[in-house]
Homo-oligomer: A and B are copies of this chain.
Amino acid sequence: MTDDIRDTVDGVIGALADPTRRHLLDLLATHGEVTATTLAEQVPVSRQAIVKHLAVLEAAGLATSRKSGREVLYAVRPDALNATARWMTALATEWDRRLAAVKRIAEAAERDSR
């Protein structure tokens, strides 16, 4: 159940951890559907490296691939990113909540000590 989310988050964060992959996502987002070969012309790495990155992005749910004739078109895919963003927001909120609780307790203790 919630393990799905954990897996999603795990994959997305792992995929986003690499700068080259983030760059590729930017290119995909701006250019729409593109092939790995096209991307290779705009990035200082080999086509093969890009194919691997795209595979990681696709496995993480951040990209989709579609075959059109002899070429493969890749595009961005927002769902997993959205889910991860929500997860992160919830986590940050949780941290805020806990820290606020700790602070309240500390202030209460401070008050008692006087």
Contacts and interface: CB of A to CB of B under 8 A. Distances in A.
A104 interface: no
A75 B78 CA distance: 33
B94 A29 contact: yes
Contacts of A96: 78, 82
A40 B23 CA distance: 37
A29 B85 contact: no
A89 interface: yes
Interface of A: 10, 13-14, 16-17, 19, 29-30, 32, 75-78, 81-82, 84-86, 88-89, 91-92, 94-96, 98-99, 102
28 contacts: A10-B19, A13-B13, A17-B17, A29-B94, A29-B95, A29-B98, A30-B98, A32-B98, A32-B102, A76-B95, A76-B99, A78-B92, A78-B96, A78-B99, A81-B88, A81-B91, A81-B92, A82-B92, A82-B96, A84-B88, A85-B85, A85-B88, A85-B89, A85-B91, A85-B92, A86-B89, A88-B88, A89-B89
